[in-house]
Amino acid sequence: MELRSYQEKIIYEIKKNLLAHKKVCIQSPCGSGKSVVIGKIINDATKKGNRVLFLVHRKELTEQIYNTLLNFNIDFNLVDIMMVQTACRRLEKIQEPTIIITDENHHCLAKSYTKIYDYFKNAFLIGFTATPIRLNGEGLGNVYNYLIKGEKISWLIDNNYLSPYKLYSVKLADTNKLHIKAGEYKKDEVNKLMEGNIIYGKTIENYIKLASGKKTIVYCASIESSISTAKAFNDNNIPSKHLDGSTPKNERNNVIKEFRENKIQILCNVDLFGEGFDVPDCECVILLRPTKSLSLYIQQSMRSMRYKENKEAIIIDHVGNCFEHNLPDFDHDWTLEGKKKKENEIKIKECPHCFAVIKPNIKICPYCGHSFQAEINIRKEQKIKDIELEQITKKQIFLKKPFNYINKLNTLSDIIDFVEIKKYKPGVILFQLEKRDNIIVSQSDLKRFEKIAGFKRGWWTHHKNLITTMEV
C-alpha cells in the first residue's frame, strides 16, 4: 500500500528510535491512518523473520486489523493478533514475540497489559494511540521510554487528510451535580440524567436545525437512552437504528451496510463506534454521553472527520464535553509524563446566537456573523450605567465605606443614614454630636434621632451646643 509522507516519517522515527529506547509510543491522531503504519511495521518485521504479537482490547478490532494486513504481503505464521484478555490467559502457549504492538495504547498501564509485557521482557514494545494519557491525567512513562508525535490535527485538516468541522454545543443536561468514581462520571447517574423525554425531543430538534440530512452517529449513555433516541428519530421520519456491544455480528454488519447505502440516516449506539472502530461515510456526530475521558471525547467527536472531498463535519455536543476537553483539534502538548496543569484551563467560547463553539480570540462568529465585540461594548455600556447608578445611590456608597468615613459627614441626616445602613448602634450618632461642633443639625433630624435612640421628647433642648448649630 502507498503511504503518505507523514506516515513514512513515523515509520522512519520508529526504526530510528526502537533499538535505542526499546519501548516506543506513537501518538497518531484519529483518522490519520495508523492501521496502515501498523501494517507496514508488521510487514517489515516479519520479512526479517521477527515474530509479532498484536494486542487489541476489543474483539471487533482483531478482524479489522486482519483485513488491513491482508493488503500487505505478510507471513501470518509469524503474527498473533489477540485480545489482551485472551493473551493474559494463554501466555505460556504464545510463541515468544520479538515485537509487541499495542493498539489504543492509552490502556497500557492496566494490569492485563503489564502482565503480558512483564512475561515477555525481552520484546520490543510499540504502542499506538491518539491520546497518550490515562483517564486520571497520568502519562505512559511507566511503560514507554520514548514518544513519537504524529502530525497535528490542524495540519491534517489543512492538507486534506481530515475534514474541517463545525462544533455546536447546545447543552441539554446539567452535569455539575454528577459524582465521579475512578476518574469518570458515575454510570448510573449519567444514565438517569440522559434518559428523559426532553433530551430526545431536543436532540431531534437540533439535528434538524444544524445537520438535517447528514449521516450521523449518536453516542448515548445507556442502551435504554440509545433505543429511545433511535425511536425519536424514527417517529420524526428520520430512519434510525440502535446498536450496542450485544448486537449480533450479522445484524450489526447489516445495519452498517444500510447506513453506508443511505437506507438509514442515524446510528445510535452505546460504547461501540469509538476506539478503533471505523464507520464509513459519517458526516455528523451527536454527543449524548458526558465523559471525563479525553481519549473517549476525541475518538467520538472526530468520528465524523474522516476525509471526503468538500465535506464539512458537524459535531453537536449536547453534554458540554468540549468545555471539559477543548476543541477536537486543540494542540495538546503530549508527553509521557501526562497532562500539564496549563491544559486544565479550557479557553473556548460559545456563540450565544448559533451555539457554535470557537476559539476565544475570534471577534466575529464565522458561522452566523454574530459580533462578540459589539456584545462586549454593550456589556461595558451596561456596566458604566450600573456604576453611575451606584454613584447616585447613597446606600450603595455607604455600604462600601469603612467606619471612619462617618467623620467626613457634615449633616446629622447623613450620619443617621450611615449608621442605619451600616447597622451600627445609635450611640455612634450621639458620640458624633457630642464631640464635634461642625455638624449641621435640623430639628427634624434631632427628632428622628430621638426616636431611634429612645430618648424622652425634647432631650436636645438641654444641649446648648446643639441649639447653636441647629438650622433655622
Say what percent of the chain tops pLDDT 70: 89
For the stretch 67-93, pLDDT in tens is 888 888 889 999 999 999 999 999 999
pLDDT at position 374, please? 61
> Do 5-151 and 157-330 fold alike per CATH?
yes
Mean pLDDT along residues 92-98: 96
Mean pLDDT along residues 150-162: 95
pLDDT over threshold 90, residue 116: yes
* Cβ neighbours of 391 (radius 10 Å): 9
pLDDT tier, 21 (very low <50, low <70, confident <90, very high otherwise)? very high
* Cβ neighbours of 11 (radius 10 Å): 18
Collapsing DSSP to helix, strand or coil, 114 comes out as helix
Integer Cα distance of 126 and 137 in angstroms: 21
For the stretch 288-346, pLDDT in tens is 999 999 999 999 999 999 999 999 999 999 999 999 999 999 999 899 998 765 555 67
Mean pLDDT of the chain: 87
Sheet holding 124-129, edge to edge: 79-83, 52-56, 99-102, 124-129, 23-27, 146-149
CA 284 to chain centre: 18
pLDDT at position 278, please? 62
pTM: 0.76
pLDDT at position 472, please? 37
For the stretch 352-369, pLDDT in tens is 889 999 988 888 999 888
Collapsing DSSP to helix, strand or coil, 128 comes out as strand
Query: Do 100 and 127 contact (CB within 8 A), yes or no?
Result: no
pLDDT over threshold 90, residue 44: yes
* Cβ neighbours of 269 (radius 10 Å): 25
Tell me which DSSP letter residue 456 carries. P
For 60-96, letters b (16+ CB in 10 Å) and e give ebbebbeebbeebebeeebbbbbbbeebbeeeeebee
pLDDT at position 401, please? 86
pLDDT at position 207, please? 96
Collapsing DSSP to helix, strand or coil, 363 comes out as coil
CA atoms within 13 A on the CB side of 162: 26
The CATH superfamily label for domain 157-330 reads: P-loop containing nucleotide triphosphate hydrolases (3.40.50.300)
CA atoms within 13 A on the CB side of 219: 29
pLDDT at position 390, please? 45
Burial class (CB in 10 A: 0-12, 13-18, 19+), 343: middle
Nearest CA to 216 out of 191, 200, 233 is that of 233
pLDDT at position 63, please? 81
pLDDT at position 67, please? 84
In the CATH scheme, what is the code of domain 5-151? 3.40.50.300
Q: At residue 183, what are phi and psi to the nearest 5 degrees?
A: 85, 0
Domain ranges of the chain: 5-151, 157-330, 394-469
pLDDT at position 66, please? 87
pLDDT at position 205, please? 94
CA 73 to chain centre: 41
For the stretch 371-399, pLDDT in tens is 887 655 555 555 545 544 444 567 777 88
Query: Do 28 and 10 contact (CB within 8 A), yes or no?
Result: yes
Q: Which three cell numbers stand for residue 204?
A: 431531534
Question: Scanning the structure block, which residue is given the C-alpha cell 449518536?
Answer: 218
pLDDT at position 88, please? 94
pLDDT at position 344, please? 57
